[in-house]
Amino acid sequence: MSAAAAPLSVTELAGGPGEIGVAHGRIHRQPIQRGIEVYGRLFRDFVGIGWAQAREEAGRFEAMISRGFPDMLDEMAGIAWGAGVDFLDILTLNCRSEIALTRASGGCSAFSLRRHGQQWLAQNWDWRHDQLDNVVALRIRGDGRPALVTIGEAGMVGKVGLNAHGIGVCLNAIRSQTCGEGLPIHVALRKILESPDFDSALDVATRDRVCSPAHFLLASAQVGNEGGQAAGLEVQPGEPGRIAPRNGIVTHTNHLYAQGVACPVQDFPRADSQPRLRRLDTLLHDTLHAEADIDDAALFDILSDHHGTPLSICRHFNPDQPAEERMETLFAVVMNLSERRLTLRHGKPCETGDTLRIGLN
């Protein structure tokens, strides 16, 4: 059985990209070094390569980042210096999806919800349990950039989060053999989190493009034609598939299903992806029709659902899976974009009521 997660606190980072990186590396030196060991094992399990070869593969993404978001190279260099590792080690961590997920899939169940003038985003992040203690919560106030909160992995520049303009993003992994030109997934997520408005955030997927397939669930508290704004974006090196809200809701797991775009990408989802999506749709439909109050606790209840175990939204250790394929829920987040607030449960949301609340007001 899996051990419980250690409590998390917020790491405050500020300044220019290099300053932010150095502080990140110094504060999280140990989990960064542990993460390098974790991904060394993961690359061997999933891809059959060692860390040295993974570093070589990561090197080809440096020019793409330099074209699309060069500040992140400065931040990665700072992280490496602060953590006492090589720049290529940090680049490899930030390109881990491009190296591994073209041949192996993670998990994650995500949804956006617009209700009573409030825009919500929520998700479980499912991954290998040995990365549990390397999760970090960062509040970043960059020079000339919107303040942001991101929950992710030590040494990586971005993942799930929101910013002071009310822009938020969630992530679902997509297993595919596609990898082309664009920004690596986690660098693209950070660029979204530095966006001043919804259209600029969309541009990351439609103009910058993303190297390898994933699903970005993007939402904004900023007022659109029907209040808040949300879109599911099945990103890849070409034009992303787009999923519009229905009754204020977008849901996604780990397979492609956007309609109306000639998508050249083939995905290879795990058997649990479609059952989790159907269950999310059912739970959110029931929530809307019950006219129940929407708050953090109600949405964490959805993320704690065990219907259909082991193919459930909240995922636990499953001894029937091969060891290298076992995925568990490592954190759950609920974001109220209208209030610029993120609430985190580190570990499985069903096992703890302890929460970390991070605001940007």
pLDDT attached to residue 249: 96
Instruction: Note the pLDDT of residue 269.
Output: 86
Per the prediction, the chain carries an average pLDDT of 92
Is 218 within 8 Å of 235 (Cβ atoms)?
no
What token pair was written down for 56? 């070589």
The predicted structure's pLDDT at residue 193: 98
According to CATH, what is the number of the domain 109-359?
A: 3.60.60.10
Q: How far apart are CA 358 and CA 361, in angstroms?
A: 10
Just give the CATH number of 15-100. 1.10.10
Rounded CA separation 112/280 (Å)? 11
d(CA 183, CA 204): 9
For residues 192 and 292, what is the distance between their CA atoms, to the nearest angstrom?
A: 32
Q: In the prediction, which pLDDT does 85 show? A: 98
Tens-digit pLDDT string for the chain (361 aa): 556 666 789 999 999 999 999 999 999 999 999 999 999 999 998 888 999 999 999 999 999 999 999 999 999 999 999 999 999 999 999 999 999 865 555 679 999 999 989 999 999 999 999 999 999 999 999 999 999 999 999 999 999 999 999 999 999 999 888 888 999 999 999 999 999 999 999 999 999 999 999 999 999 998 765 556 999 999 999 999 999 999 999 999 999 999 877 667 888 888 899 999 999 999 999 988 887 789 999 999 999 999 999 889 999 998 888 777 788 999 999 999 999 999 999 999 999 878 999 999 7
**Encoding tokens for residue 223?**
């007022």
Which tens digits make up the pLDDT trace of 38-61?
Answer: 999 999 988 889 999 999 999 999
Question: For the chain, what are the domain ranges?
Answer: 15-100, 109-359
Nearest CA among 360, 310, 318 for reference residue 335: 360
Distance between CA atoms of residues 164 and 194, nearest Å = 9
Q: 72-131: per-residue pLDDT in tens?
A: 999 999 999 999 999 999 999 999 999 986 555 567 999 999 998 999 999 999 999 999
